[in-house]
Copies of this chain bind each other. A is one copy, B any other.
């Protein structure tokens, strides 16, 4: 029984890793599409994001099946409940990255980012991609120190997010409302993407250290 359960947990973990890899691919294509106005990449990002949603739902069904068959308690139960939450975060990450791609698609062949913010969005995109790839590794290895290292990087994304507003609300901002709307939403999507990375890292971290009370 225990052996079956362990192999089921491994299956859950493998699927989380797969969905995380998808999310990393979506944000990689989406942020590149957004900063370089590449409609093909944007379409690819949107297609993967759609598929990611279905994979997350299938994983949730698997988790419910395991809960029903194995009636786990203590740590095993928390691992499975955490898997449900991590899957929800990964799905949102895919959706948010898809939204970024959709803005690029919508403005094509024009750019969604004015020159004054090109560097900021390039860095924000690279950070989100890096964070997403680190989540893939984290879900493979579930290392508490690595989880905390990931969480610490969110501060820079928040800083860039605030910088976007400083630029948009500054005296030198002469762009039209379309640019203002696009960069406002895109910046928000990048920031929320990183928030979900932090949420996932917290869950893995506390699963590993056993300090539940602080997150839940």
Contacts and interface: CB of A to CB of B under 8 A. Distances in A.
A112 B71 CA distance: 51
How often does this chain occur in the complex, in copies? 2
Contacts of A71: 71, 73
A160 interface: no
A180 B179 CA distance: 10
A184 B164 CA distance: 14
Contacts of A67: 67, 77, 81
Interface stretch (A28-36, A57-65, A128-136): A57-65
Interface residues of A, number: 28
A35 B37 CA distance: 36
24 contacts: A57-B215, A57-B216, A60-B81, A60-B216, A64-B77, A64-B81, A64-B216, A67-B77, A68-B73, A68-B74, A84-B85, A165-B181, A168-B177, A168-B181, A169-B178, A169-B181, A173-B177, A177-B177, A177-B180, A180-B180, A180-B181, A180-B184, A184-B185, A185-B188
Interface of A: 57, 60-61, 64, 67-68, 71, 73-74, 77-78, 81, 84-85, 88, 165, 168-169, 173, 177-178, 180-181, 184-185, 188, 215-216
